[in-house]
Amino acid sequence: MRTLQRIALALTIIGAINWGLIGFFRFDLVAALFGGQDAFLSRVVYGLVGISGLICLTLLFKQWDEMESREAVSGRHNQSNLNYGTEFGEEADFSSVDKSTKENE
């Protein structure tokens, strides 16, 4: 399944680049390469890009599901120990820094 998702992602990126070219420069690269918008190959590429976009929707939600399942297994949601020097955290001891700066003066 990973290979299919990578192919779908590559085709979606190609479609996004093509739409960027259309939006900025009014140039349809797929139509230019395959003989116009009504050519059979152009329609195949457009169809594959559309299907790839639908497949990539699953990637968007799969990533969050995997992360949430890992957190549920490990039993932790956020273990960052932030210390802002408030009444709830430990304050840093800067006494040694003050002594060394006074000795340097």
The reported pLDDT for the residue numbered 98 is: 58
Cβ atoms of 16 and 61 closer than 8 Å: no
Domains of the chain, by residue range, sit at 2-74
Q: What is the pLDDT of residues 68-105, one digit of tens each?
A: 676 666 655 555 555 555 565 566 677 777 565 666 66
